[in-house]
Structure 1
């Protein structure tokens, strides 16, 4: 086929661009592209040869479970990413069985995403815009030694019916909105009025944040204050895309008068969780181990203590097999983690930066 094109024996659509053995400007532009397509096809065939045929049935089952459909030529690449993830998961869990890790991982809806794609799509806490929380520290407490209040060994606001069911932000970096609504829902739940609030209300109407491109829980609370309320999920349902603000002032589900940051220490957060309720926090969720977390107490020594990129909700704390943990609600649906939750290591020197940005609303 290459020989036919070079010698001018081309289809009619190309004949007007070639005279004799002289290749026109158009042909010089198109030939490398054509050659690239041929080479690409060869690479696809080579990639197909590298796929593990014994995983065909499992791959088809995974695609069906998560409703995956790919454009022509894309499936091989996604299958290779998925197989790589499967290999990582199997290796990690073998190491877990040998006592090398404190948590397990498993395949989930992110199996066909590279870690870079996963972070770009799912983690929407805008760190470089994060407000300086030391300016508004709860009760002026910013050191573990300053808190002497006796705390219970564990607390779980899910069991106390102050936490709504796990939600799913979809392919939208709106975690900041889910973290903010979760904290406010907790305050409503404490009053016996648990209502699912509208993240879409914040995605569309919070002008300081950036919709599906990230934001801050503090900005979200400011937006609720300025608009004198927020709608419920029922009134303003989630669609995972930023659109024109459609806030209903006649359908306000909750209001707040202020918001406040928590001091950057383990006991400060524990004190806040016990006495205030669920707390909106930011963490480093960028690691592959977090992407595929399943069960156990999550501790990754490579998790950053400084750079946070994902907003979640601390809804309690406790101890599992002698290991202290924060109970954290995520917004990636029930198919991620432990039914949408993760137990993050507590008392491990600010593991994953969980103490860097902690905030809650005041009703």
Structure 2
């Protein structure tokens, strides 16, 4: 609680007001300020009284873990948000134990953010631009023209490109809506990995140089690939390290490590995406990641009946698919660090009528 310092005359002002005495003009001028301080102090005390003192140590440990420091007067509000999240997590996991959910949730680095703040800060896929863009992404299922017999290709029961050297370690976009850049580089890294030349590409290169996108305020993977085509390629993360904020373009044409000649989209169906993952590799997609359940996902097959199939707001990378306890899932790599989800990954319900809009926007680069 903020400490209030009131000059020695103020108590007399308050006393005169209570007794109905006439207040000197100089005192009346100070009274509104004093009243505001008193009200603020009372509200702060009231807020403190709502906090669960049994969670003091856990709160301090969480702040230490995530290096949280708050401005004066802010901590109580953040603590209340965190306690609300903790209550939600405990309730969800109790319901999971009762068989009401197919996944668990956990406290993570987003514990002191409201769901609205979380969405504004972390989810940077610009759906309205994807819908209104005049850009037409060619649809191609990844099969060669002479592979007509493969249209009925029998797909494997599961595939995981992380086990085949085509996926870089989980990255962290930080407090920046740059998911589109991580999704775009992830799919291109997959193409390099298939050629046994896996290298971490520079999201910062895209953040600074792709001006059709909006840096930390969001963008599109298709825009990122279009920029790569025009610029002639992209630098590595080592050459152009990530800073989590947009700056001047420092692209080095003498340090290009990957080039593309086109970018395409598989057909918009579950089997189309599965076939693309098998034949092509990791695919950049967009999903609805706005739900509180997604914010705190831990493990299991993610299914939220309220997940929006029409409006997607976050770009990720499909790196495989499989089956867990009788439930089909897409294996999805996120860009929120190892502390989120299942070591940075999420298993999202597959073959469930385009759950979370995962089929709405899919794209991959052609080298």
Is TM-score (shorter-chain normalized) higher than 0.5?
A: yes
Other-structure match for 1:191: 195
> Structure 2 vs 1, CA of residues 132 and 266 (structure 1 numbering), >3 Å: closer, same or farther?
farther
Other-structure match for 2:140: 138
Determine if the alignment matches structure 1 residue 337 to structure 2 residue 316.
Answer: no
CA contact (8 A) 2:142 2:280 kept: no
Other-structure match for 2:84: 84
Other-structure match for 2:18: none
CA contact (8 A) 1:133 1:261 kept: no
Secondary structure (helix, strand or coil) at the match of 1:207 reads coil
Find 1:303's aligned residue among 302, 307, 322: 307
When the two structures are superposed, what TM-score results if normalisation uses the length of structure 1? Answer: 0.90
> Structure 2 vs 1, CA of residues 295 and 33 (structure 1 numbering), >3 Å: closer, same or farther?
farther
Secondary structure (helix, strand or coil) at the match of 1:159 reads helix
Deviation sequence 1:308-336 (CA, Å, 0-9, x none): 00000000000000100000000000000
User: CA offset at residue 41 of structure 1?
Assistant: 1.9
Stretches of structure 1 lacking an aligned partner (at least 5 in a row): 10-18
CA contact (8 A) 1:124 1:309 kept: yes
Other-structure match for 1:211: 215
User: CA offset at residue 192 of structure 1?
Assistant: 0.2
Q: Which moved more, 1:311-320 or 1:257-266?
A: 257-266
Q: Which whole-Å CA distance do the structure 2 matches of 1:207 and 1:278 have between them? A: 25
> Structure 2 vs 1, CA of residues 280 and 37 (structure 1 numbering), >3 Å: closer, same or farther?
farther
Secondary structure (helix, strand or coil) at the match of 2:309 reads coil
CA contact (8 A) 2:333 2:344 kept: yes
Q: Which whole-Å CA distance do the structure 2 matches of 1:90 and 1:103 have between them? A: 13
User: CA offset at residue 133 of structure 1?
Assistant: 8.2
User: CA offset at residue 4 of structure 1?
Assistant: 3.9
CA contact (8 A) 1:8 1:21 kept: no
Other-structure match for 1:73: 73
Find 1:294's aligned residue among 275, 295, 298: 298
Other-structure match for 2:47: 47
> Structure 2 vs 1, CA of residues 298 and 35 (structure 1 numbering), >3 Å: closer, same or farther?
same
Q: Which whole-Å CA distance do the structure 2 matches of 1:337 and 1:240 have between them? A: 21
Stretches of structure 2 lacking an aligned partner (at least 5 in a row): 1-5, 15-22, 144-149
Q: CA RMSD in A?
A: 2.3
CA contact (8 A) 1:198 1:230 kept: yes
Other-structure match for 2:125: 125
Q: Which whole-Å CA distance do the structure 2 matches of 1:185 and 1:176 have between them? A: 14
User: CA offset at residue 38 of structure 1?
Assistant: 2.7
Q: Which whole-Å CA distance do the structure 1 matches of 2:135 and 2:274 have between them? A: 17
Other-structure match for 2:281: 277
